[in-house]
A and B are shown apart, each in its own frame.
Chain A
Amino acid sequence: MDEREEGTHRQVLLEVRGLTKVFDGVAVLEGVDLTVHGGEIHALVGANGSGKSTLIKILSGYHLPSAGSVTLASDAQEGDGQPMMAFLHQDLGLVESMSVLENVALSCGYRTSRRSGRIRWRSTREEVCTLLSEFGLGVQADSTVGSLGATDRRLVAIARAAHSLGNKRGVLVLDEPTAELARNESHRVFEVMSLVAKRGAGVLFASHDLADALLLAQTVTVLRDGRVVACVESKSSTVEDLVTYMFGAAEEALLETEEQHLSAASASKSEAHGQPAPAPAVRLTGLCSFHLKDVNLDVWPGEIVGVTGLVGCGKSELGRVIAGAQSPISGTISIFGGPPTRFVSPHAALAAGVAYVPPDRRRFGGVLTMDARENVTLSTVGSFFQKGWLRKHQELDSVARQMVEVGAVPRNPRHVFGVFSGGNQQKLVFARAQRIVPRVVVLDEPTHGVDVATIPELFHLIREMTERGCGVVLITSDLDELVALSDRVIVLGDGQCTEELIGKDVTAAEVDLAIARGRRERVH
């Protein structure tokens, strides 16, 4: 038994050579090499946009690589069929209304009777129960997944993925396996991952959390701007080492744009703060909701406050609550010193002057099948209703002019929203926000899925909003964007403000450390 394990541990299971991926002329991955051995846990770290998720998407077959190769070593031991990979994405792919038993069987197959094709529930159940006990999961096979806690769901999904490898020594790939879990829960996930590795499979996981990566993995590969900048043994490395690898050169490159922006920002800020602003643009008092716990925040006119944190920290929810898309459980919102209130609908927030640029443009940002004109005037179409008629020509002219202003191409207001590129769609959403003459703007991942060339234009539009005296809440997981725009950064962890960074402290490395610290502090 020991000998067999020893043998497989040395075996290379997954070999990635010179992997390159180009999107719209921009290299997202460049010549990435990566090797995963049997029995090894391998961590993949890097800042947002460094190419982690693209790499995983190529491994899973979602994207085709532009160049390079992915080789899976054939399994000498078992000798049957192809070696395999199993994936655990951030979305676990569990059906909440079905039982644990059914969820496992869905992806690993039901035991069926040869003759009639009928499901043999007893042996299927035995198989699943064996699996659950092997991994030490204390859940009933019959409980519905919806009734399980976040950790148990994740464990079921990992066990299922490991089980789908069957007896073969495949590779289990996990994307941020602990991102949504409380710190004191994540060790259970680590135990299961170690168990999978002990059984001879290779484990590759992407993580935002450097401490986790060092704790769990034997080898850590660091990505920066699509390249492997380091591949280190975890025993001989520290969190600070990894941060240096992740941000080293990027810091200097950022400084230039930073200085330009700082002078502009300080000018606008002194303007805003020079004359004492009478009231904050938004004041959140004791805001609690599903994820948020007692959030207090003031955003002043002309200020951009960045909000960041890991997936599941509640940052997106904070945006929705301010924009009225989700009702808070308790706490109040006050706009420009107005009476403390809670918005029951986006309409109410809009009436108070809150504009919202939601994440997931294709679903929440715009109506894909309606044209640019209709999307831009969606909130304000009433202003073109004069003397009993909707003045469509006037509307068309007005939108056409605004499309020039925000630089949306093609400049045809009759084009359907869905055919604009991501960046241009976002410009149209910004145009809609401008039209309501907002006093507070909430942006959630404003440059997600936007091509690199358009991002500066969006930055310009965002700064323009502050010049008009808006308070801007910028919710983002993109640290470059956060650093480039924010006057102040709030780090959220588990629904609470864990840290606030001001002025010089707003750097990618500091923010990343603050995010990691936030999680560790909660344990103590």
Chain B
Amino acid sequence: MTPDDGAAVDLLAGMLRTPSLCGAEDAVATLLVESMTELGFDAGRDGAGNVVATLHPTQRSDATGEVVILGHMDTVPGAIEVELYDGALYGRGAVDAKGPLATAIVAAARAAPRLRRTVTVIGAVQEEGPSVGARSLLQRPAPEYLVIAEPSGWDAVVLGYKGSMRFRVEVAVAGGHSAGPLPSAPEVAVTFWNELVAWCTRRVPGAERKGGFYELTPSLLAMNSTHDGMEDVASLQVGLRLPPGLEPDALQPEIEALLPDGAFSFSPGEPAVRSDRRNPLVASFLRSIRLEDANPRFKLKTGTSDMNVVGPVWNCPMVAYGPGDSSLDHTPEEHIEVDDYLRGIRVLTRVLEEL
């Protein structure tokens, strides 16, 4: 069945009306399996809970390998009433990332009569958390082409995401009078933070001239301190956004050396991913966007996505694509312009027909 524009809007509205917080994606997964089966996909759920839906080629072709479109079903918290207002569809996940996932579903269904390769659309679980769904996919063979269904804007493709890592550090000193000569635990923690900021600048010399994507950027996420009369304790939670070329594991000892008496605990991190732009996948997107009378744009994201998980392992031509203004991600005003959604579907349909 080929979904028209009305069916495309209905599909996305249905997805938005079905809550799917990170780790609680069953209801929307059921909706997607039913909807995609009706559209002709071979659809089901894998062991991790991801929805995996495949369309097989209908054209004789010597093309081999599959196209994987990887989106995610979960959203951050914060219910937003689903409504169509002034040409925009409001709802949690409209941009991040049910809009791009619905775009992929409709585009693949529309391209089905002209497909030269197998196209697999995946709605992953827990992208807004530990990327459980994407990690479970690493055992799959690398596809020929990978599209991450995340908001790029309908006239742009994303070529890369910064990496990230997080850690908590705790420092304890013997309690003392605040009029005394020794620094308190909070003062030690603040000194560490200032040294960390300076280290980030030193660690990637010249990055400020190349732009934020190439900088090592620290964020102070939380700080706390306690004093029980015997001991001063201060703790910091820190996030780092990593440029290409820096591996989270390799940075740990350098960070620990900045505060030898600190007790560090690191969460698993992800390196940055940056795809090449000289390949048939990018060329196809540029052609298709120009057919909508627009000048295509390239973007580099300072955030992360499941491209950080699967990209370095699959190492195939890849982009992220999807309609939507990502400045609305995670906000109370999250919405997608319907015209942009429909343009995004047309762009991706032509790409899938060409590959």
> Are chains A and B native binding partners rather than an unrelated pairing?
no
